[in-house]
Amino acid sequence: GAGVSQSPSNKVTEKGKDVELRCDPISGHTALYWYRQSLGQGLEFLIYFQGNSAPDKSGLPSDRFSAERTGGSVSTLTIQRTQQEDSAVYLCASSSRLAGYETQYFGPGTRLLVL
């Protein structure tokens, strides 16, 4: 597609349930990032993929969070046993290091609300 897409756009879940968030990057972009943004706050880095591998998982808040990327394209972020503090907007961005510099293009985000 023309831009980064994410699904679902909104997700309401009950505490303790698992959720899966999807990101479809710009075609040909090798790098993919997941961020979290709580209301009124800056971006919090979660994880970064180069191709299918994740050289930097340092931002994942706990072992309840995991992410994978297959085929160098679509990525899923899974949150197990959700907690209320997981409520936030989850943003995905992709970039291409083949460009002269790296500009991250963001998807519209998934708004997660844990009740």
Partner 1 sequence: GQNIDQPTEMTATEGAIVQINCTYQTSGFNGLFWYQQHAGEAPTFLSYNVLDGLEEKGRFSSFLSRSKGYSYLLLKELQMKDSASYLCAALDSNYQLIWGAGTKLIIKP
One residue of 18, 20, 56, 68 binding partner 1 per CB under 8 A? 56
The DSSP code for 88 is E
Decide: is 97 part of the binding site for partner 1 (CB under 8 A): yes
Give the contact letters, 12-41, x = binds to partner 1 (CB under 8 A), - = no: ---------------------x-x-----x
Decide: is 109 part of the binding site for partner 1 (CB under 8 A): yes
Question: Rounded CA gap, 37 and 90, in Å?
Answer: 6
Decide: is 42 part of the binding site for partner 1 (CB under 8 A): yes
One residue of 34, 48, 49, 65 binding partner 1 per CB under 8 A? 48
Pick from 25, 10, 16, 113: which is nearest to 74 by CA?
A: 25
Instruction: Report yes or no: 103 and 115 within 8 Å, Cβ to Cβ.
Output: no
At closest approach, how far in Å is the CB of 45 from partner 1?
7
Instruction: Report yes or no: 33 and 42 within 8 Å, Cβ to Cβ.
Output: no
